[in-house]
Structure 1
């Protein structure tokens, strides 16, 4: 009897879960672009903007974008390549902007002599800009444009 129950439970599980997996695969394939799945090569990576010009920020607390390539930059617990130019002692020679004073504050807002460990890994917030087309439509409106529109009414 136990063997019969086991066989019935196994067949039931195969029927239910087998159908569910094919249903999930069908629904996922409908969400994907079918052309992408048949291509042999991946799309090319977009080029990194390497202008060394500061980018305009879209909102007040936005971290600045990195205006140059950072390929091969070592950023780990032993070395931070960004600091060779953006450190307080290096900016006169490099002419790069110094990192924000907030990067020297600990979580209790007390100033430290060196960069805070929580702000040491630059690429957690700062990213290079690429020459990529947007993947989705963007309807973002800058606050200055919003204010200009309100004053005209």
Structure 2
């Protein structure tokens, strides 16, 4: 007695599920996230060019913004091309800013001669400055303007 009832309920549930799925797929007003049909080619954004000169920081402890392109820079587990100019051993001869000494401290605060593994991937904190518009509007004001 129980087996036919369970089989009937299973068949009903499957039919309702498939029917609901078909109705949902045929519902009017569904649009793609692109806002256009799949065969329409949408224009891409302009390439944002790097801005010349260094920008001031907006708050204390803000990571500096990179004043040059990093498109061709290799940063992986073995190579960090940023260090070719910004490592303390080369920055003087290259005319580049030296990394903060905090980049040479390990997790225990021990000072090292090489960049710590926790600071190896520069683009975790530093981004190139470009003329890109804001993605989201905001009312942020630098901390020194609050005086």
- TM-score w.r.t. the length of structure 1 is 0.77
Aligned residues: 140
2: CA distance, partners of 1:143 / 1:21? 51
Kept in 2, the 8 Å contact 1:48–1:128? The answer is no
RMSD: 2.6
Q: Note if contact 1:66-1:127 (Cα within 8 Å) is conserved in structure 2.
A: yes
Q: 1:111 to 1:43 in 2, by over 3 A?
A: same
Give the match for residue 13 of structure 1.
17
> Per the alignment, do residues 105 and 67 of structure 1 end up closer, same or farther by CA in structure 2, a change over 3 Å counting?
same
For structure 2, the residue ranges without an aligned partner over 5 or more in a row are: none
Q: Which has the higher helix share?
A: 1
Runs of 4+ in 1 over 4 A off after TM superposition: 15-23
Offset of residue 133 of structure 1 = 1.5
1:151 corresponds in structure 2 to none
TM-score by length of structure 2 reads 0.80
- How far 1:11 sits from its partner (Å)? 1.7
Q: Which has the larger radius of gyration?
A: 2
Secondary structure (helix, strand or coil) at the match of 1:92 reads helix
Unaligned runs of 5+ in 1: 148-153
